[in-house]
Amino acid sequence: MKPGPRRSISQADIVDAAFEIFEEKGGDAVSIRGVAARLGLTPTAMYTYFTSKNALQRAMVEQVFSGLDLAAASDPSVPWRTRVQRLAADLRARFADHPGAIVLVASGPLDGRHALTFSETLLEGFTGEGMPLADAARASAAVRAAVLGAITLDAAAAGADADAADAPAALWIEATQHPLTEAAALLAEPDPFAANLDRLLDGLGLAPAATPAE
């Protein structure tokens, strides 16, 4: 039996329902009408919370950013480089909790309150290291691009793994036309995320975090 309307619905309830549909059926299935049906609401009632599918998708992105531990990232007792590494890993983990959600980032600018607080935290950290604001802005953009790019590759790899199980056996084998790409793949680390971020931070001039004395 179809559930009746719920007496009290919050925006968080709607976003949670949208993620349920997203993870069950994919991004194309997320719609105002579909989420309304999931919650026992009318589409008209949904529009009092979100005026469009795009607005709903942006709220979903905000929910991902809302789980970041920005208080820890602002702790001055921890070297900034270490805080950047933890914050990047935290954001990656948040997106891993919602497989494929990285595609939602393209639904609009990252200008929600939680996304902007994430950007502000990066800027505060880099300026705190003595960078002029213009350089801090470039450094922050580089870190965001590196992390979101890695998350995109994570999602692509997960999709490839899922597809491989259903792929038919190859009918023929050709000599590779991309020998360097093939060789590089064999040399790649199992999870190069942390090492790649380290190289980026080296390039930005952040000194390595001091190792504890033995």
Residue 15 lies in a domain: yes
Residues 136 and 82 in one domain: yes
Amino acid sitting at position 206: L
Residues 84 and 132 in one domain: yes
Q: Provide the CB-side half-sphere exposure for 177 (13 A, CA).
A: 2
Q: What gap in Å lies between CA 111 and CA 117, rounded to an integer?
A: 9
Residues 108 and 68 in one domain: yes
pLDDT, residue 213, reads: 47
| pLDDT, one tens digit for every residue, the chain (214 residues) | 444 444 578 999 999 999 999 989 888 889 999 999 999 999 999 999 999 999 999 999 999 999 999 999 999 999 999 999 999 999 999 999 887 889 888 888 899 999 999 999 999 999 999 999 999 999 999 999 999 999 999 888 876 655 555 555 555 556 567 788 888 777 777 888 999 999 999 999 988 866 544 4
Q: Provide the CB-side half-sphere exposure for 156 (13 A, CA).
A: 6
Residue of 27, 46, 26 lying closest to 36 (CA atoms): 46
Residue 141 lies in a domain: yes
Residues 94 and 29 in one domain: no
Residues 35 and 71 in one domain: no
CATH number of the CATH domain containing 152 = 1.10.357.10
Structural domain count of the chain:
2
Residues 95 and 198 in one domain: yes
User: Does an H or E element contain 82, and which?
Assistant: helix 80-96
Q: What's the CA dihedral at 213, 75, 73, 69 to 10 degrees?
A: 110
- pTM of the full predicted structure? 0.81
Residue range of the domain that includes 30: 11-51
Residues 128 and 80 in one domain: yes
Residue 69's Cα: distance from chain center in Å?
14
Spatial contact of 84 and 206, defined as CB atoms under 8 Å apart? yes
Q: What gap in Å lies between CA 115 and CA 193, rounded to an integer?
A: 21
Residue 32 lies in a domain: yes
Q: What gap in Å lies between CA 99 and CA 94, rounded to an integer?
A: 9
Residues 94 and 37 in one domain: no
Q: What gap in Å lies between CA 53 and CA 10, rounded to an integer?
A: 17
Q: What's the CA dihedral at 120, 121, 123, 129 to 10 degrees?
A: 160
Structure tokens at 64: 């991902």
Supply the angle between the helices 11-25 and 53-66 in degrees, to the nearest 10.
Answer: 100
Residues 87 and 119 in one domain: yes
